[in-house]
Structure 1
Amino acid sequence: MEIKIQPMGVYQTNCYIVTVDGKDFIIDPGVDATEWVLSNVTNPIAILNTHGHFDHVWSNAELKEKLDIPIYCPKDDVFMLTDDPLGQGTPKSVPDYEVEGDKLLEIAGVKIQYRHFPGHTPGCSVIEIGDVWFSGDFLFQQSIGRWDFPASSGEDMIKSLEKALKIERDYTIYPGHGLSTTLKAEQRVIPYWIEQVQSTL
């Protein structure tokens, strides 16, 4: 697996191009991601969204038009792609596949596991490819995604963090913002974050 990373836009949202067996998967193409993506793909297969916030999906529509590839998005976040609920002027995009819950997909012969961790958004998910997690805005290095946005849920975030704590296998984590980490490293601080979320409920 080859992973290319480029932070995009004012929020420095990580856009990823993940190449497996010569097939390129574009994860979270954010603001102004199109030019970088087009110059770094040779065999684009699909656009994969971890969740629906504008800084992760801004270039969905433009890339879909230029590359003629499908968009995969968690079902519970589709409304963010089509309705622009935060009023950011996000270009509307319509996913070809609405991924519901924990779902194992096979796209062009490559196994891609969506793991549903709601809280930051209703559909917030980790995209698992091999031993790597693309965690979107669920887990960061020593931190977690915000749970105070419209459509966020502190109660769901706690359940998701508890779910992540129970996973025994380690994964390399590439988050939506910032530097990479590992699941084992983040499991050491998840209890702290559970307490922080609980204190706000």
Structure 2
Amino acid sequence: MKKEKQKKKGGKLKWILLIAVVVIIGAAAMGGGSGDDSSSGNTQTAEGNEPSTDTSSEKESQEPDVPTEYLSALTKAEQYSETMSMSKQGIYDQLVSEYGEQFSAEAAQYAIDNMEADWNANALAKAKSYSDTMYLSKQGIYDQLVSENGEKFTAEEAQYAVDNLEADYNKNALEKAKSYQESMSMSPEAIRDQLTSEYGEKFTQEEADYAIANLN
């Protein structure tokens, strides 16, 4: 009987040991699996958290730096265009002049090349100013616009201006005639000659006749 009980106890012990081994192996397998998942998850997280490349910074670094002097010249050029309606050549000359802005030739050229301006509109604005304040003739305005000692617009820009200017040249001639009469005490015939002269005001004969006919 004792031997049978010992055998039964021995059998139970073997089953207990076998079950324990199975449990340990299963736990190890589960732990290994979770470890793999975790490492895999960490890898994905690391990949997901990789810093994105800043393309704008790359572009800025690839673009050449513009010297501050060049940008200052550009600002000045735009101011001359917007407030004084100057020509391209007039602005350039003012930028480099020793009596003007004193920028380098390179900075001035950068400004001219990169500014946004409507030169036709500038020429028209200047033409209107000459008509309204100085009562110039059509030819006189054109000559002033293209003159090297004047506004320095191109011939095309000046022609656009006089073609699109709304001016009463009869009135301008009369105002000029009054000025000659009051400030220089000139005779009507002398005034007529001055109004039509190629070295004077360059009004047409009809405009000069209108002015003389309407003098007091």
TM-score class, shorter-chain normalisation, is under 0.3
Structure with more of its chain in strand, by fraction: 1
* Larger Rg belongs to: 2
TM-score, normalization by structure 2: 0.24
Structure with more of its chain in helix, by fraction: 2
